[in-house]
Chains A and B, each alone.
Chain A
């Protein structure tokens, strides 16, 4: 299964690229730039999934202290922030030609930025929280609280829309996906990115386990050296 992942990812990615750039018709209103939408939305889905994975792995870790769960939570956060960054980068690239501005505080964008910030704070905690063995537990608490925050973010940013009338409305879903190939394009892109993310997460988890094993071996070595001398 694991060995299939890279080639499978490659294949689906090629398929996605083919569909998005060759098969799907050019969107009427927005032109060629709209093609970025497929990867933009797919990245957003992956970023969200990543969040739930962090929370799930965190909960498992708190429940049974499994080191794999801990590594999985960390890896999911790293990959999640990567895709969240992609969303925030592809968004403005798409927005500028269409809306004329790089950025706006409409609900979805605000939500994505806050999500990114929560991811980033998780990584900060992991990176700079010090060597305390309990850090995994603390990060797990953050992971769970973060996912609980999501529904609140969704509801509260809608409040913003109510106050400041939406300057620009997103035009996908309703007006966008007229051609069935567009829907296919989105789904295949999503699948491609999910596989890619899964591959990255797997690599990170295995890397983390190797790191831990090396550290344990080093300690063993130091202890033995101490004994002999």
Chain B
């Protein structure tokens, strides 16, 4: 897995160098948060109930764009060929890209989550560790499918619409689990979130393994 780390490091270095990816992901996340909240015009009483849904909708939509960008980077100058001519297992490429996507999402969440607390009148400080766990599990699950299908989508026609088209139905269990876990955490803490966390954990394991095994079929001709 040293190769996976090398790829992760490379992706993060590129994102840091241009800051185009990071900043657009930040801005988009915040924008979505604002738009999704304002449109529903919540009162201070109803606002907290909106939070889980709004948060995860924002994360997923932002994540879709981040993943697409990530694979566009590989298409430029046909860098993917460079990777594939190296003695690197496609599974390692998958793992590296998955990790990079998780990091990118996490970075975006460090800004969006506190802002959500602000906009929706929530006291998040005591909940932060629990929220962190939910976000981590959700990120890994999202990235596990998004990395696999991101690679797939860049190789077919109509790729901009194909990625959300393919991913969103498959992500339903993740969304249900994540929103439910977030809601439980905001209300009572980790204990009540076991159902959602269970779904998230199962999702993560199943699709991280499946993605790792299937990635070769997507990138190797």
A–B: direct contact at CB < 8 Å: yes
Q: Which of B162, B180, B210 is in CB contact (< 8 Å) with A124?
A: B162
Q: Is the CB of A141 within 8 A of B199?
A: no
Q: Which residues of B contact A77 (CB under 8 A)?
A: none
Q: Is the CB of B210 within 8 A of A148?
A: yes
> How many residues of A sit at the interface, in one of the four size bands?
20 to 34
A159 within 8 A of B: yes
Q: Which of B156, B172, B177 is in CB contact (< 8 Å) with A130?
A: B156
Whether A142 contacts B166 in the complex (CB less than 8 A), given A129-B156, A152-B203, A156-B199, comes out as yes
Q: How many B residues have CB within 8 A of the partner chain?
A: 34
Tell me the minimal C-beta distance from A145 to chain B in angstroms: 6
Which secondary structure dominates chain B's binding surface? helix
What's the A-B contact tally at a CB cutoff of 8 Å?
A: 95
Q: Is the CB of A159 within 8 A of B195?
A: yes
Q: List 21 A-B contacts (CB under 8 A).
A: A114-B172, A121-B168, A121-B170, A124-B162, A125-B156, A125-B166, A128-B158, A129-B158, A132-B155, A134-B221, A135-B156, A140-B217, A141-B214, A145-B210, A148-B207, A148-B210, A153-B173, A155-B173, A155-B199, A159-B180, A159-B196
Q: Is the CB of B165 within 8 A of A121?
A: yes
Q: Is the CB of B152 within 8 A of A156?
A: no
Q: Is the CB of B214 within 8 A of A118?
A: no
Question: How far is A132 from B154 in the complex, measured between Cα atoms in Å?
Answer: 12
List residues of A whose CB falls within 8 A of some B CB.
62, 114, 117-118, 120-121, 124-125, 128-130, 132, 134-135, 137-138, 140-142, 144-146, 148-149, 152-153, 155-157, 159-160, 162-163
Q: Is the CB of B218 within 8 A of A153?
A: no
Q: B171 — nearest CB in chain A belongs to which residue?
A: A149
List residues of B whose CB falls within 8 A of some A CB.
145, 148-149, 152, 155-158, 162, 165-166, 168-170, 172-174, 176-177, 180, 183, 195-196, 198-199, 202-203, 206-207, 210, 214, 217-218, 221
Question: How far is A123 from B170 in the complex, measured between Cα atoms in Å?
Answer: 14
Whether A62 contacts B217 in the complex (CB less than 8 A), given A156-B199, A160-B176, comes out as yes
